[in-house]
Amino acid sequence: MRIKPKKSLGQNFLSDRNILGKIVDSCNFTAADTVFEIGAGRGELTRLIAPKVKKLYAFEIDSSLIPLLNESLRDAGNTQIIHQDILKARLLRYIKVRDGKVIVVGNIPYYISTPILEKLFEAGKHIKRIYLTVQKEFAQRVVAAPGSKTYGSLSCFVQYHGRAKIKFIIRKGSFFPAPKVDSAFLEIELRSKPLLKKADEERFFTVVRAAFNQRRKTLRNSLFRVTFPDKLHECLARQNISPDIRPEQLSLDSFLGLAKSAKSAKFAK
Ligand code: SAM
* Contacts of residue 41, Cβ cutoff 8 Å, sequence gap at least 6: 11, 13, 60, 65, 107
Can you give the CATH number for the domain in which 222 is found?
1.10.8.100
Q: Please indicate, yes or no, if residue 147 is contained in any of the structural domains.
A: yes
Q: Are residues 151 and 217 in the same domain?
A: no
Confidence (pTM): 0.94
Looking at the predicted structure, is the pLDDT value of residue 266 above 50? no
Query: Mutate which of 8, 12, 13 to test ligand 1's pocket (most atoms within 8 Å of Cβ)?
Result: 13
Looking at the predicted structure, is the pLDDT value of residue 267 above 50? no
Total count of domains within the chain: 2
Identify any residues that bridge with 35 across adjacent strands, giving them in sequence order. 56, 103
Distance CA 204, CA 267 (A): 12
Q: Please indicate, yes or no, if residue 130 is contained in any of the structural domains.
A: yes
Q: State the DSSP H helix or E strand holding residue 161, giving kind and residue range, or none if neither.
A: helix 153-161
Over pLDDT 70: what percentage of the chain?
Answer: 94
Pocket of ligand 1 (CB under 6 A): 9-14, 38-42, 44-45, 59-62, 85-87, 107-109, 112
Q: Are residues 206 and 182 in the same domain?
A: no
Average pLDDT along the chain:
92
When pLDDT is cut at 50, 70 and 90, the band that residue 49 belongs to is very high
Query: Mutate which of 46, 65, 108 to test ligand 1's pocket (most atoms within 8 Å of Cβ)?
Result: 108
Looking at the predicted structure, is the pLDDT value of residue 265 above 60? no
Averaged pLDDT, 82-101: 94
Task: Tell me how far the alpha carbon of residue 74 lies from the centroid of ligand 1, in angstroms.
Answer: 20
Averaged pLDDT, 210-228: 79
Averaged pLDDT, 149-160: 97
Can you give the CATH number for the domain in which 74 is found?
3.40.50.150
| Inter-CA distances, 104 with 34, 133, 197, Å | 9, 11, 25
Domain region containing 173: 7-190
* Contacts of residue 266, Cβ cutoff 8 Å, sequence gap at least 6: none
Q: Please indicate, yes or no, if residue 29 is contained in any of the structural domains.
A: yes
